[in-house]
Structure 1
């Protein structure tokens, strides 16, 4: 879309040198000044850029205004507009030079690969070519200064690291992130408060998603704990048994704790991730893909450790009978009185061990799917669109769950076995041996049917709610 600046938006003047910048800026300013009053407010900027095929989003537009509106009157006159673009071009020039390793005035795929490698980001030359294609206006498979400047003219990124984040969000550039690794935010996002808006949006989306799929989640727990060769429980009769025992409301038993723990878990994971990244960063403060993965996994383990008692409460409430517990606090009080503090960490070891295979396989599959799409289906842009990303995320998450499910089942049984009358209190190894001996390998996958059934609706609900929340909080 930014190559449009080269032709229709900046006819004739786009390829001129710095002495013709004023006329180029003036031509652009006139296209944005919709009411022709000599000033552009943020509403005109939003409508004008959208009409020109350059929708930025409210946060980027506000960043432009915050930087360019020197007299803070809520409008950009031509002088402020021109000064902003001049200053921005200087920063873009520095970023361009940092990528132009051989100083020949153009950026090639090999230079992108080399530059990103120095920042701890490994991509193939084919993927670098996809990035070039989204910027290259004349089809030469190299990007000169004019093409670079026009592509990033209204992108408020100020250095190469921020431009890489733009590529990450827009073109699926693989920098080691996955669904299991917390979000990363720039210093500007942290200062502006955008970070907490995104975390809040994700938290609300998670709460709605978990509530929507709670009956399947409780059914999974019931099948993990009670289903066996002698007591076969399938999806249909499992749901019927729960409704018969406690009514329709019982299908959501334990969901309250499942929703409440989102906030502390997200907060601890975000804080821990920032600390681990500092620990593993090199002297320049950069962090590579492996270090990012390790930091994310450790942050997940730290967050799980802090909220694990709530995981135990969720399982006990889900498995408990009607009237056994009056609520979360009653459940906690009875566990503490009968079993002591250590009961709140039953199943902790298999839970922590399950993070590594889940995170590793989730990340590996996500990366493989993105790379396959870039290599086989990307044409003139490296951006696959949101539905391809959601598809990649759903498949990779499902594969991660498949790999770690036996550990999740062992964790749940350890959490709940105190409720089973006459059942021996076994440790992780003992439970593995007993399940294999009595039920075979398939016994380690009890309840995986409803677990897989909830993946697609959970992803769909989360995405819709997340986008709506971002719009309402002004970060869409």
Structure 2
């Protein structure tokens, strides 16, 4: 949890920049330079960390639920098949992420709203919750839940499946009487698996963020997921689904490497064996 909080805080400016680019903020943010200039102009240096408190707050429940669920789903599938293939890991990873996201999703919506609040409409987390409940109702906390779930399947499945497949491949072919692949191998596996997961799921993430932000970005009328997809294709083409991908990839690499490294260390200390 401490490692996750530290890594997210360090990369929070890139996280906010990614959200601004995904949500088509006004004024438009098209490059890393213009994005940082816009954020600094709007609220000064500390505005780079808007929304980070909620992002850190959801680390503990999100991470705990995800990895606990992943091990449970793995054990369930392994009991039925004795051995686990890449498809089993893909299914386990997807189900674990769906479980975690369903339970912490309101915090995800709250984080997006606070991250995009360039006009100080919200004075804090409690004020944001009160206004969302008053003007939009409880259902707004699950806004864009469908594209979020659709994006989870390729991201979590590809991410965890590729990570464990690469790690186990190294252990089988290059390890000498050791079940510990070492930090360098873990970081390499994490980097590759995370990048694959990001590329596979990013269009869903962009649609989700845009729908979550509709009420915050004045002048943008709420639209259904299918209509939004059509608008992006017509106005920007397929490249429109990858706005903000650069800060997203740059941001996620150090964060996910620390996360997986701590996960492996904690698993061994708790005596949880790989299936």
1:73-472 mapped onto 2 (5 Å cutoff): 203-226=1-24, 231=28, 233-270=30-67, 272-273=69-70, 276=73, 280=77, 282=79, 288-289=84-85, 290-291=87-88, 293-366=90-163, 369-370=166-167, 373=170, 378=174, 380=176, 384-459=181-256, 462=259, 466=262
Give the Cα separation in 2 of the matches to 1:408 and 1:256: 20
Give the Cα separation in 1 of the matches to 2:140 and 2:38: 28
Secondary structure in 1 aligned to 2:2?
helix
**Higher Cα Rg, which structure:** 1
Distance 1:273 1:388, change over 3 A: closer
Query: Which has the larger share of helix?
Result: 2
Asked whether the 8 Å contact 2:110–2:128 carries over to 1, the reply is: yes
Deviation at 1:361, TM superposition (A): 2.2
Number of residues of Structure 1 aligned to a counterpart in Structure 2: 266
- The superposition leaves residues 344-391 of structure 1 with CA deviations (integer Å, 9 ceiling, x where unpaired) of 111111111111111232245335644665687x27556643202211
* Root mean square deviation, CA, Å: 3.2
Give the Cα separation in 2 of the matches to 1:454 and 1:214: 8
- Higher mean Cα deviation, 401-410 or 412-421? 412-421
Give the Cα separation in 2 of the matches to 1:270 and 1:402: 22
Give the Cα separation in 1 of the matches to 2:246 and 2:202: 11
Structure 2, unpaired ranges of 5+ = none
Give the Cα separation in 2 of the matches to 1:246 and 1:450: 20
- The superposition leaves residues 4-53 of structure 1 with CA deviations (integer Å, 9 ceiling, x where unpaired) of xxxxxxxxxxxxxxxxxxxxxxxxxxxxxxxxxxxxxxxxxxxxxxxxxx
Deviation at 1:272, TM superposition (A): 4.2
Distance 1:452 1:266, change over 3 A: closer
Deviation at 1:286, TM superposition (A): 5.7
Deviation at 1:270, TM superposition (A): 4.9
Distance 1:365 1:297, change over 3 A: closer
Deviation at 1:320, TM superposition (A): 0.8
Identify which of structures 1 and 2 has the higher relative contact order when contacts are C-alpha pairs closer than 8 Å and 6+ apart: 2
- The superposition leaves residues 180-206 of structure 1 with CA deviations (integer Å, 9 ceiling, x where unpaired) of xxxxxxxxxxxxxxxxxxxxxxx2211
Give the Cα separation in 1 of the matches to 2:69 and 2:162: 25
Length-normalised TM-score, structure 2: 0.84
- The superposition leaves residues 414-467 of structure 1 with CA deviations (integer Å, 9 ceiling, x where unpaired) of 100122223221111111111111111111001111111113332465578x49
- 1:159 equivalent in structure 2: none
Deviation at 1:334, TM superposition (A): 0.5
Give the Cα separation in 1 of the matches to 2:239 and 2:249: 15
Asked whether the 8 Å contact 2:190–2:257 carries over to 1, the reply is: no
Deviation at 1:300, TM superposition (A): 1.8
Distance 1:369 1:288, change over 3 A: closer
Deviation at 1:265, TM superposition (A): 1.9
Give the Cα separation in 2 of the matches to 1:455 and 1:298: 21
Distance 1:458 1:288, change over 3 A: closer
Asked whether the 8 Å contact 2:19–2:112 carries over to 1, the reply is: yes
Length-normalised TM-score, structure 1: 0.50
Distance 1:299 1:372, change over 3 A: closer
Structure 1, unpaired ranges of 5+ = 1-202
